[in-house]
Amino acid sequence: MRAKIVAGNWKMNNNAGETQALAQGLVDAISNTDAQVVIAPTAVNLANAVTLTENSPIEVAAQNMHFADSGAYTGEISADMLQSIGVQTVILGHSERRAYFGEDDALLEKKVNQALAKGMQVIFCFGEELEERQADRHFEVVGSQLKNALYKLDAAAWKQIVLAYEPVWAIGTGETASPEQAQEMHAFIRKSLTEAYDAELANGVSILYGGSVKPANAKEIFSKPDVDGGLIGGASLKVADFKAIVDSI
Ligand SMILES: O=C(CO)COP(=O)(O)O
């Protein structure tokens, strides 16, 4: 059985005090759940979040990291730095990193390889833009994002990877992919994995949906057979909303 996962991507939100309050609120609210629960605060608050969630089922992830071990990369954060404060999971390939910071498939391939080499878990994000869906190119775009960044990996490496399909047009817009659209794409992703590797591997990879997931729509989206959870932005910033989404799994 592949893992059910609900991850909160806090993006560039919450200062130290706000991180403390939200993380503590989630620790108090979320105890026994069938889902693996992940929160991804901004880098400067990761260490505090790790401490706050120590005796809880909540794991802490970073939102980004560099591909090099160390060196002259001003402003960047290495895998070792993350691991040294207890962070073992990193989100890579988020559409905001692709769109605003020029991260492309080739760079992401290097980042993924580095995270895997260091023994970290990766939540790998990808998804098409609105114009690409309107032009009926969404399968082609998603297929090439996966192939370019991930399909040179050994089969064994996939134990460290969770996929997160996030159609760009549904992120922060209030517009969600319909449960049918999500299922259609997730089934396509699993088929693509089957073709690149095999069915056993494809059936073991958790595929999350992200894009305007809210308490009101989470249950229906999560009920789809190839949707294994969600990557949540805005609704992960409120204890009650995130808990309701975790409870929808
Ligand atoms: O980008 C997302 C999670 O990584 C989704 O954001 P929203 O849930 O705010 O649409």
CA 170 to ligand 1 center in whole angstroms: 8
Q: How confident is the model at residue 31 (pLDDT cuts 50, 70, 90)?
A: confident
Q: Find the 230 Cα to ligand 1 centroid distance in Å.
A: 9
For residue 152, the model assigns a pLDDT of 97
How far is the centre of ligand 1, averaged over its atoms, from the C-alpha of 72 (Å)?
32
The ipTM (two decimal places) reads 0.99
Q: Summarize the confidence of residues 175-183 as an average pLDDT.
A: 92
The pLDDT confidence band at residue 173, using thresholds 50, 70 and 90, is: confident
CATH code of residue 123 = 3.20.20.70
Tell whether the model's pLDDT for residue 176 goes beyond 90: no
Please state, rounded to an integer, the average pLDDT across all residues of the chain: 97
User: Does a structural domain hold residue 78?
Assistant: no
| pLDDT at 238 (0 to 100) | 98
Residue 76 lies in a domain: no
Best of 11, 163, 176 for a ligand 1 pocket test (most atoms within 8 Å of beta carbon): 11
Residue of 94, 103, 138, 186 marked active site: 94
CA 146 vs. chain centroid, Å, equals 14
In this predicted structure, which of 57-71, 112-126, 171-185 has the lowest mean pLDDT? 171-185
pLDDT at 172 over 90: no
Whether the predicted pLDDT of 175 surpasses 90:
no
Of residues 59, 109, 132, 166, which has the active-site annotation? 166
Binding site listing for substrate:
9-11, 172, 212, 233-234
Question: Residue 32: pLDDT band by 50, 70, 90 thresholds?
Answer: confident
**What average pLDDT does the segment 190-215 reach?**
97
CA distance 52 to 24: 6
Residue 32 lies in a domain: yes
For residue 177, give its domain range: 5-69+83-247
94 included as an active-site residue:
yes
Atom of ligand 1 nearest to the CA of 164: 4
Q: Which atom of ligand 1 is nearest to the CA of 125?
A: 4
Q: Is 166 a catalytic residue?
A: yes
Cα–Cα distance list, 208 to 47, 90, 106, 144 (Å): 25, 15, 22, 18
Residue 48 above 90 pLDDT?
Answer: yes
In a domain, 75, yes or no: no
* Known binding-site positions: 9-11, 172, 212, 233-234
How many domains is the chain partitioned into structurally? 1
pLDDT at 1 over 90: no
